[in-house]
Amino acid sequence: MSEVTTIGLDLAKNVFQVHGVDAFGQVVLRRQLRRSQVLPFFEKQAACVVGLEACATAHHWAREIAKLGHDVRLMPARYVKPYVKRNKNDAADAEAICEAVTRPTMRFVAVKTEEQQSVLMLHRTRQLFMRQRTTLINAIRAHIHMAKFGIVAGVGRNGVERLLRLIDERADDRVPPVARECLQALRAQLVLVKRQILEADRGINAWHRSNELSRRLEMIPGVGPLIATALVASIPDPHAFGSARDVPAWIGLVPKQNSTGGKERLGSRPHMAHS
C-alpha cells in the first residue's frame, strides 16, 4: 500500500472519520476512529499533512497531533464546504477536508495555545455576565417602573440605583410585599453578576500585565486591556497577515461583498472571517 501523505480528519464527539491519500492523490485510507483511537492512530502514521476544520475542539486535536510530528493545518469550515461531493456525511466531509488542505490558495487558521483559549474563554464569560447584568437591570426597571405602582425613575445607572433603594424602603407601601420579594431576588442576582464582572476584569488585567505584546498594544491610542488581550489571544500568528489592512478584514470590519458583472455591491453587515 502506498504511503499516506495527506489526511483529512472529520472531527466529531465520539466517532472520527479519516480519509488519506498518497503523493499522487490516490485514496489509500478510509476508516472510522473512536475518540480513544485517534492519537494512537496518528502515532503509528508517518509524518504527513493533516487537515482539520476549525471548530470547538480543533485546536486541541491540532496541538496533540502536531506533537506526534505531523503538519496540522486548520481551515474555516465554510472554505471546505465547496469541496464536498454528493450528499453530506462524515466520509464525504473527511474527503473534502483532505482535498481542501492541498489547495495552494487555501487560507488556514493558526492553532491557538491553551493559554490563548483560556483568555478568550475569560472574555466570553465576561461578555455573558454583561448581558445578564443588562437583562437584570431591564427586568428590575420593567417590574417596578409601572404606572400601577406609581413609581417613576430616571434612565441610566442612577435611576436604577434609586429603584433598588425603593425595594428596601419598608415604609413605602407603593410596592406590594410579593412584588418586593421578587425584586429583592433580582437585586441579589444583580449584585452577584456585578461581582463576577469585577472578578473577570481583574483576571483580564492580570493577564494583560503579564503579557509583553498585550502591554505594547495598549500604547496605541484607544486600545485598553480588554482590546489588547482579546487581540493577542485571537491572533496566534500576526505574521500570517500580508499587511495591516488584512487584520481589520479578518476581524470583520469589512462589509460583505456581493459583486458581479463589474458592479460592486457592498452589504451593511460585516463579513466575519475565520475564527
| pLDDT, tens digit, 9 for 90 and up, residues 62-119 | 999 999 999 999 999 999 999 998 888 999 999 999 999 999 999 898 899 999 999 9
Any idea where the domains of the chain sit in the sequence?
6-100, 114-233, 237-270
Phi, psi of 258 (to 5 degrees): -140, 65
| Segments in the chain below pLDDT 70 | 1, 143-158, 166-175, 268-275
Burial of residue 193, with CB atoms counted within 10 A of its CB: 0-12 exposed, 13-18 middle, 19 or more buried: buried
Query: Could you tell me which residues are beta bridge partners of residue 6?
Result: 21, 49
**Average per-residue pLDDT for the chain:** 86
Query: Cα–Cα distance between 189 and 159 in angstroms, integer?
Result: 18
Query: Cα–Cα distance between 28 and 25 in angstroms, integer?
Result: 9
pLDDT of residue 263: 84
pLDDT of residue 154: 65
Nine cell digits for residue 204: 483580564
CATH 3.30.1490.190 corresponds to the domain 6-100: no
How far from 51 is each of 17, 123, 214, CA to CA, in Å?
A: 12, 28, 30
| pLDDT, tens digit, 9 for 90 and up, residues 198-211 | 999 999 999 999 99
pTM for the full predicted model? 0.79
**Run of H or E residues at 71:** strand 71-75
pLDDT of residue 173: 67
Query: Cα–Cα distance between 174 and 23 in angstroms, integer?
Result: 80
Query: Cα–Cα distance between 12 and 23 in angstroms, integer?
Result: 27
